[in-house]
Amino acid sequence: MSAGASCLTINRMNALRLRWIPLSLVLLSLVPVGGGAFRVTQLASGAEVTEANARFFAAPVPVVLHIFGASLFLVLGAFQFDGVLRRKRPGWHRAAGRLIVPCGLTAALSGVWMALFYDLPAEDEGILTVVRVFFGSAMAAALILGFAAIRRRDYARHRAWMIRGYAIGLGAGTQAFTLTSVLLWQNPPDSLGRVVGHTAGWLINLAVAEWIIRFKPPAMLPDTAVAGQAVPA
């Protein structure tokens, strides 16, 4: 094979590898996005009010804002990690980012509001409220710090904070697995089980995020940086 042809093959393999990242992120988002679609449909169609869903009918605005904000944040946000798209459509990352940050802030802050003010089941009160307020605030802070960093053209910090903010948001996807695993230990889970299931999802994602930030610096990524342009998260 000629040098040119092998170079083309390597570039195609890199493009495929880079495309796997956003696709995996969208896949992991499907469970919470699907759960959100179910809840919005239930609210819009005036389904029967039960003990399990009464809080959503009593105050639908926070949960609807939460679901739309979070779904757009996760699905559109996944493509911020698409190196191929970033290289082919350089304006996309910037334009999408301006929509994704407010969506992420809406998701995080409405989540905190619901944790504090919804009439939650007894096992979701107490420590889980503290955990949710902590991670919801951390997600909002990470997105604000990431946005502030790009205004200063500090690409490395922008990348790091946006990866952290997205990782916390995507905790909802990982929690589908951690909360299911808790069922092997407790069925139904008590307060401790609920805290362990939620916290594990967020911590796993943050550990992966820190690994990417430290060991996959943008300078080592094959699609790095079109000159004069932000190196996105």
The footprint of ligand HEM (CB under 6 A) covers 32, 35-36, 39, 55, 63, 66-67, 70, 73-74, 107-108, 111-112, 114-115, 118, 120, 132, 135-136, 139, 168-169, 172
CB under 8 Å to 85, separation ≥6 — which residues?
22, 79, 92, 93
CA distances from 209 to 26, 81, 131, 179, 217 (A): 16, 13, 19, 20, 12
- Compute the distance between CA of residue 197 and CA of residue 180 in angstroms, rounded to an integer: 8
CB of 54 to ligand HEM, least distance (A): 10
Question: For ligand HEM, which is the closer residue by CB, 67 or 233?
Answer: 67
- Compute the distance between CA of residue 178 and CA of residue 219 in angstroms, rounded to an integer: 33
CB of 154 to ligand HEM, least distance (A): 24
DSSP 51: T
CB of 136 to ligand HEM, least distance (A): 3
Question: For ligand HEM, which is the closer residue by CB, 170 or 230?
Answer: 170
Place of tokens 């949710």: 132
Question: For ligand HEM, which is the closer residue by CB, 139 or 206?
Answer: 139
CB of 71 to ligand HEM, least distance (A): 6
Question: For ligand HEM, which is the closer residue by CB, 35 or 193?
Answer: 35
Q: Provide the Cα torsion 99, 104, 106, 110; round to 10°.
A: 170
CB of 41 to ligand HEM, least distance (A): 11
Nearest to 174 by CA among 192, 195, 200, 193: 200
Question: For ligand HEM, which is the closer residue by CB, 66 or 158?
Answer: 66
